[in-house]
Structure formats: C-alpha cells, structure tokens
Structure 1
Amino acid sequence: MAVSLSVDAVWVMLCAILVIFMQAGFVLLETGSTRMKNAGHVAGKQLLSFSVAALAFWAVGYGFTFGEGNTWIGLEGFFLKLPTDPKSIPLEVSFLFQLSFVAVSLAIAWGGFAERAKLSVYVIFGALYTVLIYPAVGHWVWGAGWLHELGKQDFAGSTVVHLQGAVAAFVATVMLGPRIGKFNKNGTPNLLPGHNQVYTVLGVLIIWLGWFGFNPGSTLTAKDGFFGFVALTTNLAAAAGSLTALVTVRVMTGKADVTMMLNGVLAALVAITASCAFVEPWAAVVIGGVAGSLAVFAAYSFERKGIDDPIYACSVHGVAGIWGTLSTGIFASPRLVEKVGIGGPGLLYGGGLKQLGVQALGVTAALLYVAVVSFVILWVMKKAIGLRVTEEEEVMGLDLSEHGAYGYPEQLQPPKGAIGEPLADTGTES
C-alpha cells in the first residue's frame, strides 16, 4: 500500500473513531434531557442500538448502500463480500466509517421513542432501520443512485443521516403519543425537565468534537489538507448557531435558555453537514446562524401542535437538516463545487434554481420514503407486539420496569413490593 493511501486509511479510521465516540455524547445528551427514573434505560439503549446497527449494517446494510446494483438500491456486498480495490482505503475501514454514520442516524431516531417505548422496539426497529430505511436513501445520494446522478450535494449527511433520523423520530413520537403528564386536557404543555443539564452540555461538547470526524472525515483523504477547510466551516457554523439560538430564545421568552443554546449548536452542525465542503466561511456562519434560530422556533412550534419530542430530534435534526440541504442550492461556491465535483453552483453565484431544485427534490424524496416505511414498520409492530410500555410502567420509570434497577439507586427508591406486583398510585412522579 502506497504511503499516501496508508495515511488516508489512518485518517479515515481516526475519523470513524471520533464519530463513534459521538455515541458517548448522545448518551449524556439524551440521559440528561430525560428524567432520573429513566436514566439507566436511556443510556443503556444507546449501547444496545449501536450493537444492533453494527451487526445489521455488516450483514446487509452496507451492501444495500454501497454495493453495485441499480439507481435505487445496491444488490451485492452483503457481509462485506466485495472485491478489494488496491487504490482505495481498506474495505474494513470504509465500513467502520460508514457504520458510525448509521449509528448517529439511529441515535437521532430514538429521540421520538424516549421514555415510553418498549426495549424490544429498539432492537426490532433499529435492525429494520439499518437494513430497510437508511440504506435506500444512502444509496440514492452516496452510492450510484439517482440523486447522485442528478448532482445532489450532501457532503456528510444533512439528508442521509440527520433528516432520515428525524423523520423516523417524528413518525414514532406521533404513533406513540405524548408522555404521561406532558399535555393538559386543553392541550397546553407542561414542562418535563431533564434531570441533569451538566450532562447535556458535556454531551453536546462531545458531539461537537466528534463532528470533526463527521464532516472533515468525509473527504476520505488527508491529501492537500482540504479537510482543514471543512473543519473550519463546520466550527464557524456551530459557533454562530449557538449565539443566534441564545438570542432568539431570550427575545421569545426573556430567558437565556441553556437547552435552546445547545439545540442551536446541534442544529447548526446538522445544517452545515451538507454544505461544509461547498460553501465559503462567511456562508457557513449564515447557514449556522439561521439553523440556530430555526431550531428554537421549530421546538416551540412542535410543542404547540402537541408533538412530544423530548430530545428535540424533529426540530434540531429535521428542520435544520432540510435547511442545510437546501442551503447548498443557495450558497454553493463555483470553486468549491469544481473541487468536490458534485452538482453545480448555488443561486447566489448565478447557478439559477437548478441546484436548489435538485436539493429540494432530494429532501422531498427522502422525507416521503422514510415517513412511509417507518410508519409501516411501526404500525405492524404496534399491532403485533405493541410499541409503548403500560401506564404503570411509565410512571414507575423504565429503569425499574425494563431493567429491574434504577440508574440512580441512592436517589430513587423502588416502589414497595416485588417487581411485577401491582403498585399503589402515589399520585407523584419522579
């Protein structure tokens, strides 16, 4: 293996590790954003879902996504049975890097299930998401798919990773319904605060760090140092999203809500993920700043419409994912488009509506496909095994009802009686 190819392989492997480590960030973010009685469950299912995704993507998902086939789906490469290309990074490294993206997308989807779904649902839906949902759109955009042929620009996955996860989360939260106590009879929402804001801040910082594997790693090479430019646009967008979200929520509520600031960071990172290699630094600031504000508006809007999304997956990854995907059709710079070699320049550079139209088509196709397939899978599961724990189990907390022990046993004492026995209604909830 040539020295340059060896360096590329090490670079991509390092980025795969960074993106996989984002799972630790999601553990802290999601655990901190939910209630203490569900902390162990929320943290543990993150490890469970990564394990399920790893096996399913190795067996089938990678082949469907990147194997030779047609413009709709790959038809070979199952169990990584693909010919070795001596001019490319090792297949095993490529698989681990792409697996890290699938795992992030699945982690996003779990936001719609939080604090009320059965543990078995995570296993079954996680496997089917990795096999049937993610690979199709992945192949359309990153394989030899029809959206790739049209020139859709999605450098690291605003559509493929984030929008897909958000749409699945939206379908799940609608089908499951809101958590007990989230809404009053007149539809007004109640605050169900997460139990540890320090966890959420640390989780977002870890995710922000992991994004330096996510976007720069998608160059798939260390040659010419272009990954540094991608890292720069990524970081500028995140910083802008943090500040605009904080200003927006302060204007709307009179308080500098830390949660919304964190949402602004994540939304900006989601938005710049599609365009990080296509736009100039000034445009990255604009894209990230707009995403930060959009995340705040969207979060309150979804809540007013009766959507209970504890992790804000729909606003942070869905709305921002749509904006980020469309943004390349507006801001894509001709010099960068030429360098990357995908699509055309954006509207502001005289490219007209062509690229923007391709981006909008990609968003629409992905949204419809993921929504329909997620609904069908969850509908069948609902009829067959049920999606939601019982009311008694939800009030008790999933730590105890699903796992038999609280994540914080010193702070939360189990109800009287053996596990599985009827519980007295205390009228309170942790």
Structure 2
Amino acid sequence: MKLLKTLPVAAALIALPTLALAQDATPSFDEIGPYIMTTLLFCMAGFLVFFMAAGFAMLEGGLVRSKNVTMQMTKNIALYSIAAIMYWVIGFNTMYPGDFNGFFAIGGPTVLDAVGVSAADAALDYASVGSDFFFQLVFVAATASIVSGALAERIKLWPFLIFVVILTGLMYPISGSWKWGGGWLDAMGFQDFAGSTVVHSVGGWAALAGAIVLGPRIGKYGKDGKVIPIPGSNLALATLGTFILWMGWFGFNGGSQLAMGTVGDVSDVSRIFANTNMAAAAGAITALILTQVMFKKPDLTMVLNGALAGLVSITAEPLAPTLFGALWIGAVGGAIVVLAVPMLDRLKIDDVVGAIPVHLCAGIWGTIAVIFYNSDATLMTQLTGIVAYGAFTFVVSLVLWVILKATLGIRVSEEDEVNGLDMAELGMEAYPEFSRG
C-alpha cells in the first residue's frame, strides 16, 4: 500500500525535467505579448475606421436634398460591401504581395489564420493576418466614400458601383503598394504615415475626374456664372456624421502606428490621438472665424469640413509634431477648405459635400507639411509622391468615367434629377411623409 502511495510522487519527480523543458519551450508573454497587443490594436482601430462608413453616410445624407438621401445610403452600404469583397479577391494581395501567397485570394489559403495559432508561431509574427487584413480593408472603403459624396444627386447607381469595383480592387491597391507595400515610393523615402495622399488624395483625385465628366447639378450655376446655393436636407445629420468621422479618425491614425507591443508604442498611439484631435479642432475654429470674416456669418457646413480638413492634414504625420504643430497644420487645412470651395465653384466643378477641398486639397497640404517635423522627408520626395498619385489616379479615373459615360451613361435624365434619385433609381424615399425639396 505504501508502495502504491509513493508511485505518483516518484512519477512526478521523474517527469519534472520533462515539464521544465516543455515550460522552457513555451514563449513567455514578453515574446507573445507584442503579437497579442498589436492584434488588439488592429481590431480596435479597424472597427473605429469601419464606423467611419456610418459617418460618411450621415454626412452625405445631411448635405444632399431629401429627395436623394436614400440613394446616398444605398451607395454607402454598397460601396463598403464591394470594397470588402474586392480587397479580399485581389486588392490585399496586390497591395502587399506575398501575404496571401498568391496574386488572387482564390490562389491562396481560404482562411486568414490557422485555427489555434500556437504561441511559438505568434512569437515569430507581429500580429494576426486576419487583424491586419481587416485594418487595411476599412481604409479602402473610406477612399470610395469620398467619391460618393462629391458626385451625389446626379449620378446613376450602377455605373458608380462599377467604378467602385475597379477603384477598390485595382486602383487603390496598385498605388497603395508604392508606399505601404514597400514599393518604389517607399524606397525613395516618401512619407505618409496614415494616408493623407495614399487614401484621401486618391479619393479626391477620383472624385475630381468624376465631377468634371459628370458636370454640375441642374440649377447649381446661373447663366451669368452666379453660384446658386443648394442647401442640404439635414444639418443635424451632417454634424453627427462629422463627429462620427472625427471619432473614427483616432483609429485611422492611431492604428497606423502598426504596433502596440511596447511602452513606447502605446505612448506613441496616445500622442497620435492628441495630435489628431488638436488638428481637427484647429481646422474647425479656423473655418468658423474665416467664414465670419469673409461672409459676415459663420457657415456650419464649412466648419464641419474645416474639422475634416484638419484631420486629413495631420494624417500624413500625426506622431512627430508637437501639439502646437498639430494645431497650425490643422488650421491651415481649415483655411484651405474655405478658400478651395469658392475656387471650385469658379471653375464650375460641382462637389456636393466638399470632398475635393477636404480630401484632395488638404491631403496635398498634409503631405507637404510632413517636412516640417519628419527629418526623413524632403520636399522633392513628398512632391514626387503627390504628383505620382495624382497623375495615376486622375488619368485612370478620367478614362474610366469617360468609358462608363459612353457605354452605360453615368448621369440620370433631367427629369429624374429634378424629381430626385430616390424615386427614379430606387422607388423609395427616405422621408416619405414630407414633401420632396
């Protein structure tokens, strides 16, 4: 009996060396902690940027007339869904060659991560592929949303969605690979932390090409060249959309730190949050003051876009500046919007929500502003990147819009535009109990 009692003890003593070896083979938290924390950063930042899709939808829904609101909601949910599929089918692998081990997703694995990733495997990578893929994906949809707002109230649904397929599946991933995929601009030293150019100006260039081919809305410009304001349906909704975008931008810029495995990384993320917030506030206040001075009354739509322009301006370098640096960079962005909107009107380029001044003009400014705080950036390199992205995106977009116009037609009829796209294209209204205006 005593022998039986001692057997488990003896067995445990014999197994101790083996257990010690197994324990030694298991990576410590110091080794797998960065993987866990960076994966968490990607997931959290990713769903903040995903929520920006709601912000774009609300902003656009508030700035178009009530007879076109349902159309904007349809475009926004459709473009996000298209982006999600196209970025999986071809976009991600085009932008980051080798991550799926095949040019098309169907040529690679069907899942992003093996079920039950081992601690040893985690210690060898910086984050899960699934979290990385999702984080990169939500940026693509933001680019397409920029185009949606600029071309509102007169474009047909299906030609627009065909353009989104090409933009999210090919155009954005190809140009994105030049910087973020380790391409030629990255090798040259071009700096764009979170996408003032890679994301925002790309959307702006595509929108500019579309607005030129599409033409202005009926009644926007008088025969004498006078600009006729066309008020949106719900400024409260537009304001809500701006605040949602502002919040989502913390994920947009903060997640672009791409690491949260050290004290330094976490500190940098918090610094990015503070700078992002400061730039937005400065852009809004600048637009508020400038519109009072120029138009004798503050313009809420300009203030909203001023905040967004401040956000776009700081996106190229949200880490390096001081809080004062973020303030003046964002302030310049807010001023750019107030000045660029009338400039577009003089050129009779009709941008319904001000997407081109916000995302293109402020995006260019933000990319140039990098040189003031990032010693790795030079003016010539930054200008090279701006011109490369602009030439590629504008020319390809212009060709696509012309082809779509010649084949399917991209603009609704005059009667449909007057009656509203909600009924003409979709047969339903966002506000059926109210008269259309």
Same-fold call, TM > 0.5? yes
Q: CA deviation at 1:251?
A: 0.9
Name 1:269's counterpart in structure 2: 311
Distance 1:79 1:138, change over 3 A: farther
Match of 1:11 among 10, 21, 41: 41
Question: 2:143 matched to 1:116?
Answer: no
Distance 1:75 1:176, change over 3 A: farther
Measure, in 2, the Cα distance between the counterparts of 1:116 and 1:139. 33
Larger radius of gyration: 2
Q: Cα deviation per residue 1:370-411 (whole Å; 9 max; x = unaligned)?
A: 001001111111111000011111111111011111111100
Measure, in 2, the Cα distance between the counterparts of 1:60 and 1:132. 7
Question: 2:330 matched to 1:288?
Answer: yes
**Paired letter, 1:303:** D
Consecutive unaligned residues of structure 1, counting only runs of 5 or more, are 335-342, 345-354, 414-429
Measure, in 1, the Cα distance between the counterparts of 2:108 and 2:131. 14
Matched-pair contact (CA < 8 Å) for 1:242–1:292: yes
Name 1:126's counterpart in structure 2: 164
Equivalent residues in 2 for 1:99-178, closer than 5 Å: 99-178=137-216
Question: 2:351 matched to 1:313?
Answer: no
Measure, in 2, the Cα distance between the counterparts of 1:313 and 1:75. 35
Equivalent residues in 2 for 1:384-395, closer than 5 Å: 384-395=407-418
Match of 1:61 among 67, 91, 101: 91
Question: 2:295 matched to 1:253?
Answer: yes
Name 2:398's counterpart in structure 1: 375
Q: CA deviation at 1:81?
A: 2.8
Q: CA deviation at 1:4?
A: 2.8
**Paired letter, 1:385:** L
**Paired letter, 2:38:** D
Question: 2:61 matched to 1:31?
Answer: yes
Matched-pair contact (CA < 8 Å) for 1:68–1:144: no
Q: CA deviation at 1:75?
A: 7.2
Task: Give the secondary-structure state (helix, strand or coil) at the position aligned to 1:387.
Answer: coil
**Paired letter, 1:76:** F
Q: CA deviation at 1:77?
A: 5.8
Distance 1:184 1:75, change over 3 A: farther
Q: Cα deviation per residue 1:189-222 (whole Å; 9 max; x = unaligned)?
A: 1010101000111110010000010000111222
Name 1:326's counterpart in structure 2: 368
Task: Give the secondary-structure state (helix, strand or coil) at the position aligned to 1:215.
Answer: helix
Measure, in 1, the Cα distance between the counterparts of 2:133 and 2:435. 41
Matched-pair contact (CA < 8 Å) for 1:250–1:256: yes
Distance 1:35 1:167, change over 3 A: same
Matched-pair contact (CA < 8 Å) for 2:284–2:304: yes
Q: Cα deviation per residue 1:350-370 (whole Å; 9 max; x = unaligned)?
A: xxxxx1111111000100000
Measure, in 2, the Cα distance between the counterparts of 1:37 and 1:153. 42
Q: CA deviation at 1:132?
A: 2.2
Matched-pair contact (CA < 8 Å) for 2:160–2:410: no
Measure, in 1, the Cα distance between the counterparts of 2:244 and 2:44. 15
Matched-pair contact (CA < 8 Å) for 1:116–1:394: yes
Match of 1:300 among 329, 342, 363: 342
Q: CA deviation at 1:302?
A: 0.7
Question: 2:389 matched to 1:366?
Answer: yes
* Higher alpha-carbon deviation: 99-108 or 88-97: 88-97
Consecutive unaligned residues of structure 2, counting only runs of 5 or more, are 1-26, 114-120
Measure, in 2, the Cα distance between the counterparts of 1:172 and 1:188. 22
Task: Give the secondary-structure state (helix, strand or coil) at the position aligned to 2:127.
Answer: coil
Q: CA deviation at 1:10?
A: 1.4
Q: CA deviation at 1:65?
A: 0.7
Q: Cα deviation per residue 1:230-273 (whole Å; 9 max; x = unaligned)?
A: 11111111111111111111111001111111111000000100
Measure, in 2, the Cα distance between the counterparts of 1:408 and 1:124. 28
Match of 1:244 among 279, 282, 286: 286
Matched-pair contact (CA < 8 Å) for 1:179–1:308: yes
**Paired letter, 1:243:** I
Measure, in 2, the Cα distance between the counterparts of 1:68 and 1:144. 12
Q: Cα deviation per residue 1:257-294 (whole Å; 9 max; x = unaligned)?
A: 11111111000000100010232222111100111011
Matched-pair contact (CA < 8 Å) for 1:152–1:359: yes
TM-score by length of 2: 0.86
**Paired letter, 1:227:** V
Q: CA deviation at 1:133?
A: 1.3
**Paired letter, 2:73:** A
**Paired letter, 2:80:** F
Fraction of identical pairs, as percent: 40
Name 1:98's counterpart in structure 2: 136
* Higher alpha-carbon deviation: 158-167 or 323-332: 323-332
**Paired letter, 1:301:** M
Matched-pair contact (CA < 8 Å) for 2:72–2:148: no
The alignment of Structure 1 onto Structure 2 pairs a total of residues equal to 391
Question: 2:192 matched to 1:192?
Answer: no
Task: Give the secondary-structure state (helix, strand or coil) at the position aligned to 2:204.
Answer: helix
Measure, in 2, the Cα distance between the counterparts of 1:81 and 1:93. 17
Matched-pair contact (CA < 8 Å) for 1:58–1:80: no
Match of 1:89 among 108, 117, 127: 127
**Paired letter, 2:432:** P
Task: Give the secondary-structure state (helix, strand or coil) at the position aligned to 2:316.
Answer: helix
Measure, in 2, the Cα distance between the counterparts of 1:121 and 1:107. 15
Matched-pair contact (CA < 8 Å) for 2:58–2:237: yes
Match of 1:201 among 224, 239, 255: 239
Distance 1:90 1:179, change over 3 A: same
